[in-house]
Amino acid sequence: MFFGLTIEKLMLIGVVAALVIGPERLPKYAEALAKLTRRAKETLQGAKSRMREEMGPEFDDVDWRKLDPRQYDPRRIVREALLDDTPTATMRAAGAAAVAARVTPEKPPFVPGSVPPFDDEST
């Protein structure tokens, strides 16, 4: 429910409000509450349409429920990451790739006695 209010709590609040306000003023307050609810709904609809207008049509396909911060459960994220079936590089494969990248036919290995390459932008 909304802010942890259940139907029973809302009914109790309504009964207490009816007793406090009294039967002669209750219709006036009920009408004011209805107007306030209608105005709030119109304001929210206007804000929603304005946001859609300003953000453009590409944001119509966004699933906003996925972006809800209440959906971020660290245990679920870790569980999904651990159970992910995508292949990952092992240390041996990464080492072999590094060795292959270091010694290529285009780039000869360093010859002792020659000037080492220097990159002045890196310092």
Contact 91, 85 (CB under 8 A): no
Q: Is residue 94 part of a domain?
A: no
pLDDT value at residue 71: 77
* pTM over 0.85, yes/no: no
Question: Residue 86 in 3-state DSSP?
Answer: coil
Q: What is the pLDDT of residues 73-115, one digit of tens each?
A: 888 888 888 886 665 556 666 666 666 655 555 556 677 888 8
Distance between CA 112 and CA 69 in Å, rounded? 58
- Overall domain count for the chain: 1
> Which domain range does residue 60 map to?
2-78
Distance between CA 42 and CA 40 in Å, rounded? 5
Q: Is residue 86 part of a domain?
A: no
Say which residues have a Cβ less than 8 Å from residue 56's Cβ, sequence separation at least 6: none
